Amino acid sequence: MSSIFKKLISKEFGENKYNKYFFVCQKSLEDKSFDSKEIYNDIYENLKKLDRNAIRKMQGRLNDALFLAVRISKTYFFSFLFYLGAAFFLITKDINPIITIFSIILMSICFIVKTYEFLINKYCFIDAHIVLVYKTVLERMVILKEIEHSSSSNNT
């Protein structure tokens, strides 16, 4: 299981590019001189040949990923409350102990998976930085494509 942001960047640019961006960010963090120019330039070079519609679709996928990351964080608290409530309910009801134990074990496994997903997406600082650089490039490309489009419309 990987973060939403890693999945997005890997899908948009490929696993090799994601690994390159990850190691550039990691190295830069270790050196305590965070510089994202290399990643920015590489993403820009990949996107400059795309048309306006392709850039808009990429922005849509980015927005969906950001929404999903926020939703995972928001729903985790409710999952935790549900887990506690369900465990309390099962323990206080007069149900066969084997069924109660099996149910709590099954719920615990599901909750552990949800917790793992939450933690991966909550603490993916490097992936979040890569996505911020990607978002910046996309916004710049949209502005440039709009200027390009309006200047070509004015010429005709």
Segment 16-36 shows an average pLDDT of 85
Percent of the chain with pLDDT over 90: 60
| pTM to 2 decimal places | 0.79
Which whole number is the average pLDDT over 6-30?
Answer: 91
Structure confidence at residue 121 (pLDDT)? 87
Residue-wise pLDDT for 43-57, tens only, equals 999 998 888 889 999
Residue 61 pLDDT more than 60?
Answer: yes
Contact by Cβ (8 Å): 16, 124 = no
Does the pLDDT value for residue 2 go beyond 90?
no
For the chain, what percent of residues have pLDDT higher than 70? 97
3-state per-residue secondary structure call for 124-141? CHHHHHHHHHHHHHHHHH
Give DSSP secondary structure letters for 27-62.
HHHHTT----HHHHHHHHHHHTTS-HHHHHHHHHHH
The mean pLDDT of 107-127, rounded to a whole number, is: 91
Of 63-67, 68-72, 97-101, 141-145, the one with minimum mean pLDDT is 141-145
What is the structure's pLDDT at 156?
57
Predicted confidence at residue 155, as pLDDT, reads 65
